[in-house]
Amino acid sequence: MKLRLISLMAAMLALVGCSRVAQLTAPQKHPHTARTSTALEADALFWQTLHGGQYDQISPALEALTAAYLQDPRDAVTAAHVGWLHVWRVSEAARSPVKHATITDDLVLSRKYFEEAVQLDPGEARYRGFYGSLLMAEGTVHGEEALVRKGYYTLMGAVNAWPEFNLFTAGYVMSRLPAGSARYRQGLAMQWRTLDLCAGQPVSRMDPDFGAFMHRETQEGHQRVCWNSWIAPHNFEGFFLNFGDMLVKAGDWQSAQRIYADARLSAAYAQWPYREVLEQRIEHAESNVAKFNASDPAGDPVSERIMFNSSIACVACHRN
């Protein structure tokens, strides 16, 4: 009996060992450099849908991109775009009059596709930033603190790799937290740090007028994300809208009014679909302090909520 037990244990250990060896010696998934015509066509639909703010067309765009990914699961860009559409759908869920519990499934799927994108293109810090933020969101939904912490440190690594982009990403995610929490204060500090990096020097906290730094606009290098681009036609305006919202939620509505006003410096401000939202933010900054801190905001999904929780969470920067 004892001999049989020893033999059984030895067999089990051998099986575990074989399983481990099999996994460690499996061939790695390597990216393809050439992209398929299907992927390129799906990309065109992706940008048309996003730049048009066509939230109701996410499903057909996802169908096209997922089909392209299944045809070539070694395409990092396609994987990232699938992930982006999933996170867009959950980010602007305020558009829907009905709260569907299954919307959280989009977080899981988005995290999975960004995980694939990071594996295929580990040097792309933007993918790592989205991946880290989605790990945090998924961990929060499922009550897994270890996943939240993994996401946080993944996100901080992405910040180190490309601070101008990922300081905003990290702070934006943290804007959903209670205004008195340490993480919220950290997120707000990240917006100030982003502003300093884009200005090339510390910006006055008492009078944060960005006008003196507009000559720094560029489409080259890491600092290109400080400005508008074909990817995010109103990135500049959206940054200041979110930054102002975060200051309002923190109770500093006077500073928020000055930050909001910086969005008007954009040469594309007159074409921004959400300029009236910002003008209303300036006018109602003081009364919005309570609204932005409400645990279950009611009424209009834009005027009653900070940008992150609103129906323009993504399109404020990306819609033409």
pLDDT tens digit sequence for 186-240: 999 999 999 999 999 999 999 999 999 999 999 999 999 999 999 999 999 999 9
Cβ atoms of 317 and 232 within 8 Å: the answer is yes
Residue with tokens 């960005």: 210
Q: Which distant-in-sequence residues (6+ apart) come within 8 Å of 185 by Cβ?
A: 250
DSSP tag of 202: P
Q: How far is the C-alpha of 119 from the C-alpha of 113, rounded, in Å?
A: 10
Judged by DSSP in three states, 266 sits in: coil
Contacts of 100-106 with CB under 8 Å at 24 or more apart are 104/141
Residue 153's identity, in one-letter code, is Y
Cβ atoms of 139 and 150 within 8 Å: the answer is yes
Cβ atoms of 45 and 81 within 8 Å: the answer is no
Count Cα atoms within 13 angstroms, Cβ side, for 300. 8
Does pLDDT of 116 surpass 70? Answer: yes
All domains in the chain, ordered by first residue: 36-161 (1.25.40.10), 177-320 (no CATH)
The size of the chain, in residues, is 320
Cβ atoms of 33 and 76 within 8 Å: the answer is no
Q: How far is the C-alpha of 247 from the C-alpha of 23, rounded, in Å?
A: 49
- Supply the pTM of this predicted model: 0.91
Does pLDDT of 5 surpass 70? Answer: no
Q: What is the pLDDT of residue 10?
A: 63
Helices (H), 221-293: 235-249, 253-262, 275-283, 285-292
Q: What is the pLDDT of residue 33?
A: 84
Containing H/E element for 287?
Answer: helix 285-292
Residue 311's identity, in one-letter code, is S
Cβ atoms of 277 and 300 within 8 Å: the answer is no
Cβ atoms of 39 and 26 within 8 Å: the answer is no
Q: What is the pLDDT of residue 295?
A: 85
